[in-house]
Amino acid sequence: MPLTQEAVRAWLQRCAAVLEENRDYLTQLDAAIGDADHGVNMDRGFKAAMARLTTLNAPDIGSIFKTVGMALVATVGGAGGPLYGTFFLQLGVKTAGKQELTPQDWAEALEAAVNGVIARGQARPGDKTMVDALLPALEAFKVALQDGASFVEALARSAAAAEEGMKATIPMVAKKGRASYLGERSAGHQDPGATSSYLILQAAAETWADVS
Q: What is the pLDDT along the chain (212 residues), one digit of tens a residue?
A: 699 999 999 999 999 999 999 999 999 999 987 888 999 999 999 999 999 999 999 999 999 999 999 999 999 977 889 999 999 999 999 999 999 999 999 999 999 999 999 999 999 999 999 999 999 999 999 999 999 999 999 999 999 999 999 999 998 878 766 666 556 666 888 999 999 999 999 999 999 998 76
User: Is domain 3-207 classified as CATH 1.25.40.340?
Assistant: yes
The pTM is what? 0.95
pLDDT score of 176: 63
Q: Are 187 and 172 in contact (CB under 8 A)?
A: yes
What residue type is 142 in one-letter code? Answer: K
Q: What residue spans define the domains of the chain?
A: 3-207
pLDDT score of 174: 80
CA distance 56 to 51: 9
pLDDT score of 178: 62
Determine whether 34 is exposed, middle or buried from the number of CB atoms within 10 Å of its CB (0-12, 13-18, 19+). Answer: buried
Q: Which long-range contacts (CB under 8 A, 24 or more apart) does 104-112 make?
A: 104/145, 105/2, 106/3, 106/141, 106/151, 107/138, 107/141, 107/142, 107/145, 110/137, 110/138, 110/141, 110/158, 111/138, 111/142
pLDDT score of 39: 95
